[in-house]
């Protein structure tokens, strides 16, 4: 999806013979996962910078450098080719985000700046949706009453004679509550991306000197017992507010989903729409069951990150008419 938004196509090459991703996409995705793993990894040289002059103490520099080279091996040629197309007049209309960055009028970006922005954008939207959906599905399958309530919400708003559309989302409050609860309880990372204060600041009574690195604890906010009742329990109903539309952002920062203010995520609408649509389609289109002899899904987290320690394994059975499913 991110490749489609940025480059106008899902695959770098022709994909594999079965229409799925080929070796190029797999290698590209693996390099992105590596970059994300080491983004906030503990590194001795962060605390003792003088060690950098001696050696790559943890080996992180080499790992990150190789991963970035791999990612850009597939991205940069596409960007160079697209820039040339605009220069030659072969391309005249904006079809994707890359076209938009190339044709900005008020802020002209160099090729290197575009390549850096593209890598940042891909990393920012690479794992959020998949992490959120896997956790939401796992928690809901473990609590059939929650899952059944989501199914009833979809059947009431959409019915079973057509698939859910983007225009339905504003009415699917309970589905959005499930998404929001997964954001709260199972954030994609323990901290936000580090920020640096440009001036002396005071936040919540704490003095933060200019030049300080600031890390916001997503777990500390989302699982704060002073704010949330029974914070370790997956309970989508806590986000219902009568008939008011449920929003996935929280400007009070009782949880950290998309941030807020000038440094908040610029893709709030895109990210929330992608996540809600995917969850809604999965719930509407299929009944889900755990494998035999597994009464509950294991919802333990990894030790090194907040992803599920064991990937969700569930059995899906179509629940709608056959003509509503795309033919293979």
- With the C-alpha atoms ordered 18, 20, 24, 30, is the resulting torsion angle positive or negative? negative
Rounded to an integer, what distance in angstroms lies between the CA atom of residue 257 and that of residue 246? 14
98 and 81 in contact (C-beta within 8 Å)?
A: no
Q: Is 178 annotated as a binding residue?
A: no
Burial 253-277, CB ≥16 within 10 A → b, else e: eebbbbbeeeeebebbeebbebbbb
Rounded to an integer, what distance in angstroms lies between the CA atom of residue 35 and that of residue 136? 25
Mention every residue, 6+ apart, whose C-beta is less than 8 A from residue 193: 39
Rounded to an integer, what distance in angstroms lies between the CA atom of residue 149 and that of residue 236? 10
- Tell how far CA 265 is from the center of its chain: 11
- Annotated binding-site members for heme: 265
């Amino acid at each position: 999806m991110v490749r489609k938004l940025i480059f106008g196509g899902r695959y770098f090459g022709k994909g594999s013979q079965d229409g799925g991703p080929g070796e190029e996409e797999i290698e590209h995705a693996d390099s992105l996962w590596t970059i994300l793993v080491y983004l906030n990894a503990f590194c001795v040289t962060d605390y003792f910078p003088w060690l950098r002059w001696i050696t790559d103490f943890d080996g992180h520099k080499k790992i990150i450098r190789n991963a970035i080279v791999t990612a850009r091996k597939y991205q940069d040629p596409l960007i160079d080719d697209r820039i040339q197309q605009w220069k030659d007049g072969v391309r005249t209309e904006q079809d994707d985000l890359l076209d938009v960055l190339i044709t900005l009028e008020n802020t002209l970006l160099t090729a290197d700046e575009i390549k850096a922005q593209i890598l940042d954008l891909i990393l920012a939207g690479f794992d959020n949706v998949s992490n959120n959906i896997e956790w939401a599905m796992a928690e809901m399958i473990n609590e059939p009453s929650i899952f059944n309530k989501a199914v009833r919400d979809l059947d009431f708003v959409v019915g079973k004679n057509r698939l859910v559309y983007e225009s339905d989302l504003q009415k699917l409050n309970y589905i959005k509550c499930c998404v929001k609860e997964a954001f709260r309880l199972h954030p994609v990372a323990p901290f936000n991306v580090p920020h640096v204060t440009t001036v002396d600041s005071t936040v919540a009574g704490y003095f933060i000197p200019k030049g300080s690195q600031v890390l916001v604890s997503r777990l500390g906010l989302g699982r704060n017992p002073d704010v949330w009742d029974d914070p370790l329990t997956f309970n989508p109903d806590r986000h219902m507010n009568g008939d008011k539309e449920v929003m996935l952002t929280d400007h009070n920062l009782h949880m950290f989903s998309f941030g807020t203010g000038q440094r908040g995520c610029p893709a709030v609408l895109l990210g929330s729409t992608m996540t809600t649509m995917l969850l809604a389609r999965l719930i509407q289109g299929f009944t889900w069951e755990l494998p035999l002899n597994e009464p509950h899904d294991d919802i333990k987290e990894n030790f090194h990150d907040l992803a599920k320690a064991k990937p969700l394994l569930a059995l899906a059975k179509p629940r709608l008419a056959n003509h509503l499913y795309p033919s293979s």
